[in-house]
Copies of this chain bind each other. A is one copy, B any other.
């Protein structure tokens, strides 16, 4: 049967009816900014109900950022979304929508989406990493989503890869997030622009603040300074990925998020670093590639994590192998 995947973020709420084959049959979006105070839970319920319409649906899963306890079906801590914290969403949304509701961390849901329908669909072991404002991640090993004891596992962005590196938003120094996020690309681009003022990157930086997407565009136009920034970023990414390859021995590493649009400019140096730093046979097996679902991975993965009244996944079984 179909399931509904809900992606609750700082900019929008999206709810999609998804078929067992991973096809989006209907989708409704609502801008988070437009929601009046104390109406967030109500708006999520309305978005689900509107998306559902006349579709037959077996359950829904809500993916939200921050620290999510899927065992308790609630969000413990969500930056910028404090209204949904510590609420039993299965009860509140369940009674409002008439559906069984489960709750999941958004990066885990996106990882699960890629695993079921995207870059990892042929595999049992997948590392998913998303390079955006921050660096998020989710791991599936032996077909099991790695949530950890409290649901806080899979924080791939906060492994230290350079102990005295730049300060990270989390307070630590030299996290992967501080060196390979879209934010880190922008920061490094501004430094390189200063060092190479005659490059296209350097000239752009005189006019305005350089953003991550500028760097990718200038790199495709062949600007050496922009290429340098993405090469360095890819190497940092590769240092982190090499560790994950050794630890998880995955078949695939799927790289998503806005900064992944830099594609081979980042992935090629990342692969080089993995080849230098990871061990056989893991480094020989793994394929490091772009995630394939784009921003839809969130609603697709959430739908695939929805459970029916019998406790089973509505969209069919996972690929658990152990």
Q: A: which residues have CB within 8 A of B? A: 67, 76, 123-125, 139, 141-142, 144-156, 158-163, 170-172, 239, 242-244, 246-251, 276-282, 285, 322
Give Cα distance in the complex from A276 to B170, angstroms.
Answer: 10
The reply to whether A247 and B156 form a contact with Cβ atoms under 8 Å apart is yes
The interface residues of chain B lying within 8 Å CB-to-CB of A172 are: 242, 276-277
Please, could you name 25 A-B residue pairs with CB atoms under 8 Å apart, sorted by A?
Answer: A67-B280, A67-B281, A76-B281, A125-B149, A139-B247, A141-B141, A141-B146, A142-B144, A144-B144, A146-B247, A146-B248, A148-B282, A149-B250, A150-B281, A152-B279, A153-B247, A153-B282, A154-B247, A155-B247, A155-B249, A158-B246, A159-B159, A159-B242, A160-B277, A244-B247
Chain B proximity of A242: nearest CB distance (Å): 6
The interface residues of chain B lying within 8 Å CB-to-CB of A170 are: 279
Given contacts A148-B282, A279-B170, contact A159 B243 (CB under 8 A): yes
Copies per complex of this chain? 2
Given contacts A159-B159, A162-B163, contact A281 B249 (CB under 8 A): no
The reply to whether B149 and A285 form a contact with Cβ atoms under 8 Å apart is yes
The interface residues of chain B lying within 8 Å CB-to-CB of A246 are: 155-156, 158-159
Instruction: Provide the main secondary structure of the chain A interface.
Output: loop
Interface residue from B149, B244, B282 paired with A251 (Cβ < 8 Å): B149
The interface residues of chain B lying within 8 Å CB-to-CB of A278 are: 158
Nearest B residue to A126 by beta-carbon distance? B149
Give Cα distance in the complex from A156 to B277, angstroms.
Answer: 13
Give Cα distance in the complex from A322 to B125, angstroms.
Answer: 16
The interface residues of chain B lying within 8 Å CB-to-CB of A163 are: 161-162, 239
Give Cα distance in the complex from A115 to B202, angstroms.
Answer: 55
Give Cα distance in the complex from A138 to B278, angstroms.
Answer: 17
Interface residue from B139, B141, B242 paired with A144 (Cβ < 8 Å): B141
Give Cα distance in the complex from A155 to B163, angstroms.
Answer: 20
Give Cα distance in the complex from A162 to B243, angstroms.
Answer: 12
Give Cα distance in the complex from A156 to B67, angstroms.
Answer: 25
Given contacts A147-B142, A239-B163, A276-B172, contact A152 B247 (CB under 8 A): no
Give Cα distance in the complex from A67 to B67, angstroms.
Answer: 36
Chain B proximity of A166: nearest CB distance (Å): 14
The reply to whether B239 and A155 form a contact with Cβ atoms under 8 Å apart is no
The interface residues of chain B lying within 8 Å CB-to-CB of A139 are: 247
Give Cα distance in the complex from A277 to B170, angstroms.
Answer: 8
The interface residues of chain B lying within 8 Å CB-to-CB of A280 are: 67
Chain B proximity of A248: nearest CB distance (Å): 5
